[in-house]
Chains A and B, each alone.
Chain A
Amino acid sequence: MPVREASGLKIWQRRTQRESLSHWALWLVGIAVFAYCWQQISAATTWFFVWDAPRIADDIWTRATPPKWEYITQLGKPIWDTLNIATMGTMIALVFAVPVAFLAARNTTPSRFFIRPIALLIIVSTRSINSLIWALLLIAIIGPGVFAGVIAIAIRSIGFCAKLLYEAIEEIDQTQVEAITATGASRWQVMAYGIVPQILPAFAGIAVFRWDINIRESTVLGLVGAGGIGLQLSSSLNVLAWPQVSLILLVILAAVVISEWVSAKVRGAII
């Protein structure tokens, strides 16, 4: 316990002198870094616009209300596309994520030093990059449309699902696997009887969780041209049709809330 002697009195302190020095130094560095960041941001900002912001916000608000309700008739197809992008993307991702997860988990990978790093690389590279960037890339390659959106969502989700799934595989009870092995079961039978039942709840949870996130992400994919309701949002923004924008935002909000509710219900039923 750090105790300092001062004029014959023992004074208890929380930290030793060196600890508290480094503590303060850390704080100082942190504050300096933040100050630098803030200064950079402010240098790149046109403050005139910022002071004008309340007026502009007010202006946008008056233009955007009330929403143009009759526009909703044109939103049916984009919503349907958005749902499909999310669902199909999730399903395709799961098809790829399962084998990748088995190759990446320490206890199921066929080779620790060769295949596992490759699987981990697939996981980290697909999940570090946002689905909007994948969409940009795919549009450049295969052209705009729903298809590019599906693939973009699928690629982004592979890493996410595979990561959660391989962590679940690494946490399974090994004695159950041992027991199945001891019966003389083949490698695939051990997988089907010893491992799969143990990770099935986790798998279902991950699938629904990712589907929920994908609904959110697919609502904005249209901004770069990959189909769904974002396409309408983008074109409305381009012509400054604020009443349409506000309606689309409301619809997106509703979709997000509903999908979160569905996902919470389904996960509750599984676990």
Chain B
Amino acid sequence: MLRLDRLVKTYKTGDQALKAVELEVPEGQVLALIGPSGAGKSTLIRCINRLVEPTSGKVYLGDTELTGLSSGSLRKERRRMGMIFQEYALVERLSVMENVLSGRLGYVGFWRSFLRRYPQSDVDEAFRLLDRVGLAHMADKRADELSGGQRQRVGICRALIQDPALLLVDEPTASLDPKTSRQIMRLICELCKERELAAIINIHDVALAQMFVQRVVGLRLGAMVYDGPPDGLSPDKLTEIYGEEDWEATIEKVDDEELETEAAE
């Protein structure tokens, strides 16, 4: 469904963030993108919906080639890709409801959105989504009154109301505490399953990635060095991705923690 063809991004400073990345994501697959900071994870995600303009290479969403689209058609295609951000990136001075509805901006005209006259179906869907993440009662609160975990839930609603085929998730848990991190990751994965969405999740926490996804891609200095199931991540592989470190503890801990949370619930 999503295919990257020799995607290259070179920044003006000369840093090569992506070195001819080849990747194919089938429909409904949740994929974790791991790697140290500076490996190009964020750049990769942003090159897909062209928040960052790739230097060369091609991106296909379904049969459409995203690279090379005019800005008008690009906007149409962006509606099919929901994005979730590290620092939530909610518009803080707007209400929760407005933030969720802003996911429909690609579908409604300017004046309609400006006067906040969204179609009733959009409003209904927004309430359903907010209810699904447990925030329906917060709809008229301002976004900056919410806690981190709540904000990220609103961010998820905003991405889902776009009715996307693909979720681009950029470090969803980086600013959250461990417990909330897991809840958010679980929520994202559940929602992907419910709606049969494909997703690319940037995440630096290997253990968390291994808990939730079917496929892991490792990125190092802009090049793919691993692509396989989560349990195929051996200490050698992790060393290749992150550099020298004692990985046994990390992998062990995952199993323990998983058991604990399972038991706790």
Contact string against B for A residues 238-252, beta-carbon threshold 8 Å, 1 for contact and 0 otherwise: 000000000000000
Contact status A182-B83, CB under 8 Å:
yes
B218 close to chain A: CB less than 8 A: no
By a CB distance below 8 angstroms, the chain B residues around A95 are none
A197 close to chain B: CB less than 8 A: yes
Compute how far the CA of A180 lies from the CA of B94 in the bound complex, rounded to whole angstroms: 12
User: When A183-B79, A183-B105, A193-B113 are in contact, do A200 and B162 touch as well, CB less than 8 Å?
Assistant: no
Instruction: Mark out the residues of chain A between 70 and 108 whose CB falls within 8 Å of any chain B CB in the assembled complex.
Output: none
Q: Taking the nearest CB of chain B, how far is it from the CB of A112, in angstroms? A: 14
Tell me which of A184-192, A217-225, A227-235 binds B: A184-192
Contact status B105-A185, CB under 8 Å:
yes
Instruction: Mark out the residues of chain A between 141 and 184 whose CB falls within 8 Å of any chain B CB in the assembled complex.
Output: 173, 175-176, 178-184
By a CB distance below 8 angstroms, the chain B residues around A182 are 49, 51, 78, 81, 83, 168
B103 close to chain A: CB less than 8 A: yes
Tell me which of B85-93, B195-203, B229-237 binds A: B85-93
* Residue of A173, A184, A189, A192 contacting most chain B CB atoms (<10 Å): A184
Contact status A186-B110, CB under 8 Å:
yes
B106 partner, pick from A175, A185, A197, A198, beta carbons under 8 A: A185
A205 close to chain B: CB less than 8 A: no
| Chain B contact residue count (CB 8 A cutoff) | 32
Contact status B90-A179, CB under 8 Å:
yes
By a CB distance below 8 angstroms, the chain B residues around A194 are 91
Interface on chain A toward B: helix, strand, loop, or mixed SS? helix
Closest to A190 in B: B105
* Residue of B75, B94, B102, B110 contacting most chain A CB atoms (<10 Å): B102
Contact status B91-A176, CB under 8 Å:
yes
Instruction: Mark out the residues of chain B between 98 and 114 whose CB falls within 8 Å of any chain A CB in the assembled complex.
Output: 98, 102-107, 110, 113-114
A183 partner, pick from B87, B94, B162, beta carbons under 8 A: B162
Contact status B75-A186, CB under 8 Å:
yes
- Count of A-B contacts with CB under 8 A? 82
Contact status B110-A188, CB under 8 Å:
yes
B215 close to chain A: CB less than 8 A: no
Compute how far the CA of A46 lies from the CA of B82 in the bound complex, rounded to whole angstroms: 78
Closest to B168 in A: A182
By a CB distance below 8 angstroms, the chain A residues around B110 are 186, 188-189, 192
Contact status B85-A184, CB under 8 Å:
no
Compute how far the CA of A184 lies from the CA of B168 in the bound complex, rounded to whole angstroms: 14
Compute how far the CA of A201 lies from the CA of B94 in the bound complex, rounded to whole angstroms: 12
Q: Taking the nearest CB of chain A, how far is it from the CB of B113, in angstroms? A: 6
B76 close to chain A: CB less than 8 A: yes
A179 partner, pick from B85, B98, B106, beta carbons under 8 A: B85
Contact status A197-B81, CB under 8 Å:
no
Closest to A181 in B: B51
Compute how far the CA of A198 lies from the CA of B94 in the bound complex, rounded to whole angstroms: 9
Instruction: Name B residues whose Cβ lies closer than 8 Å to a Cβ of A.
Output: 49, 51, 75-79, 81-83, 85, 87, 89-94, 98, 102-107, 110, 113-114, 155, 158, 162, 168
Query: Can you pick out 13 interface pairs between chain A and chain B where the beta carbons lie within 8 Å of each other?
Result: A173-B92, A175-B87, A176-B92, A178-B89, A179-B155, A182-B78, A183-B79, A184-B106, A185-B113, A189-B110, A192-B114, A193-B98, A193-B102
